[in-house]
Amino acid sequence: MTGNSLESNRIPPGQQLVAPGKWPVIGEREPANTTDPWTLNVTGAIAKPLSFSLAELSTLPQTSATLDIHCVTRWSKLDVTFSGVLLEEILNRAGVAQNGNFVSFVARSVRRHSTSLRIDHAIKQNTLIALNVDGAPLDSGHGGPIRNIVHGKYFYKSVKWLEQIEVLEHDRLGYWESDSGYHNEADPWTEQRYMVPSIDRRESIKLIETRDFSNRDLRSIDATERDLHGLIATGASLRDAKFIRANLTGANFCNANLSNAHFHNANLRGASFLNADVEGADFSGADLRETDFTGCSVIGASFFSVVDGQQVCATIDSTTTLPPEVARPLFPEQLKFVNQKLGR
């Protein structure tokens, strides 16, 4: 490694490093049918369908690659060394057909989780079918015995418990891309986190007036500076929602998905986030007095940030409910900030 590869130049915008040695488990936590022997099947627009056992995979040429993980929920982890077989090695053996334009990676999981890439891009980026990480077999939580690893994309392009590589003529959106609106290109350097909003501007203005978002899919809704006091948003899908400087006093976000939501300088006094997902959400500058985060998932969330050299801090005091076990997965500096405010 060269001396000038400063860590800060390697962290894409809006990302922060996890504590050294930490690697969170995100998304699905376990594969399905764990008692069946593992096979990797190559199907679709190819000359010859193939099936590999793990032992067969280990007889193919092995490659290792050190790369940085960037999760869309704003955590990054640098210098992780994966080893296994290049996707290209496997596709060469299968013989990609003329019309094989995309590759879909399908997991052995309950929801048959998948993601896809353009095949030329996947090959050019040295996509790896990884069996090992940092010299040891991948553990099950991180996708063992086998996952694909894609360089230069958010980590949702790297599927855990890879069971099938399907070559396609036309793209087929993966699980996160179709279910949750994650961007299909997933470039962390240009922050391609989400596709266009799931609701148009006129519709959202009408809905904002009702102050009832419960159980609706309102990804990326723009409620900047809106008066939403007493909002009912239980069970709503509000990933990437913009609530910057909004009045959300007494809002009810129980069980809502607010990952990567923007609460910068919002008034959240007395709001409830009971069992909500606030992964990657930005609470810097927000008023969080009497706010309840019991049961929340907070990995990647921020409670202070530095804007133009100025610290923008959330207002947190003894009336804020943020139990220690909820706060634990926060970035180290964020955890320190929160604990200091709570006198812990």
Ligand X SMILES: Nc1nc2c(c(=O)[nH]1)N[C@H]1C(S)=C(S)[C@@H](COP(=O)(O)O)O[C@H]1N2
Q: Does 71 bind ligand X (CB under 6 A)?
A: yes
The Cα–Cα gap between 44 and 286 comes to 50
Q: Where are the alpha helices (DSSP H) in 95-244?
A: 119-124, 175-179, 201-210
Instruction: Please count the other Cβ atoms lying within 10 Å of the Cβ belonging to residue 168.
Output: 17
Both tokens assigned to 169: 């003529």
Contact call for residue 304 and Mo ion (CB under 5 A): no
Q: Yes or no: say if 277 and 258 are a contact pair by the CB < 8 Å rule.
A: yes
Identify the residue among 71, 231, 236, 338 touching Mo ion (CB under 5 A). 71
Q: What is the distance between the alpha carbons of residues 256 and 243, in angstroms, rounded to a whole number?
A: 14
Based on the shown chain and the rule CB under 6 A, indicate whether residue 12 belongs to the binding site for ligand X: no
Q: Which residue is nearest to ligand X (CB)?
A: 27
- Which one of 23-31, 44-52, 214-222, 294-302 is the stretch in contact with ligand X (CB under 6 A)? 23-31
Could you give the residue ranges of the DSSP H alpha helices within 165-253? 175-179, 201-210
Of 9-17, 70-78, 130-138, 251-259, the window that binds Mo ion (rule: CB under 5 A) is 70-78
Name the residue among 34, 30, 23 with its Cα closest to residue 82: 23
Task: Dig out the tokens for 171 from the structure.
Answer: 């793209």
Choose the stretch contacting ligand X; rule: CB under 6 A; options: 18-26, 78-86, 232-240, 263-271. Answer: 18-26
Is 239 near ligand X (CB under 6 A)?
no
Binding to Mo ion by residue 75, rule CB under 5 A?
Answer: no
Cβ at position 191, least distance to Mo ion in Å = 14
320: partner contacted, choices ligand X, Mo ion, none (Cβ within 5-8 A by kind): none
- Which of the residues 163 through 182 are near ligand X (CB under 6 A)? 176
How many Å separate Cα 220 from the centre of its chain? 15
240 interacts with, out of ligand X, Mo ion, none, CB within 5 to 8 A per kind: none
The residue from 28, 68, 277, 287 that contacts ligand X (CB under 6 A) is 28
Query: CB within 8 A of 139, min separation 6: which ones?
Result: none
Q: How far is the CB of 158 from ligand X (least distance, A)?
A: 5
Among 52, 156, 263, 273, binds Mo ion (CB under 5 A): 156
Residues in the interface with ligand X (CB under 6 A) total 19
User: Looking at the DSSP assignment, which residues form a beta bridge with residue 303?
Assistant: none
**Any contact of residue 183 with ligand X (CB under 6 A)?**
no
Can you read off the two tokens belonging to residue 317?
Answer: 């005091």
Q: Which of Mo ion, ligand X, none has residue 159 at its interface (CB below 5 to 8 Å by kind)?
A: ligand X
Q: Please give the single-letter amino acid code of residue 198.
A: S
Looking from the CA of 293 toward its CB, the CA atoms found within 13 Å total 28
DSSP 3-state assignment of 78?
strand
Span 127-166, contacts to ligand X by CB under 6 A: 142-143, 155-156, 158-161
Token pair belonging to 9: 């130049």
Dist CA 91 CA 98 (whole Å): 13
Convert residues 84-123 into a mask of x (bound to ligand X by CB under 6 A) and - (unbound). -----------------------x-x---x----------
CA angle in degrees (0–180, nearest 5) for 223-269-310:
75
Binds ligand X (CB under 6 A): choice among 11, 12, 27, 126: 27
**Contact positions toward Mo ion, by CB under 5 A?**
26, 71-72, 156
**Contact positions toward ligand X, by CB under 6 A?**
23-28, 71, 107, 109, 113, 142-143, 155-156, 158-161, 176
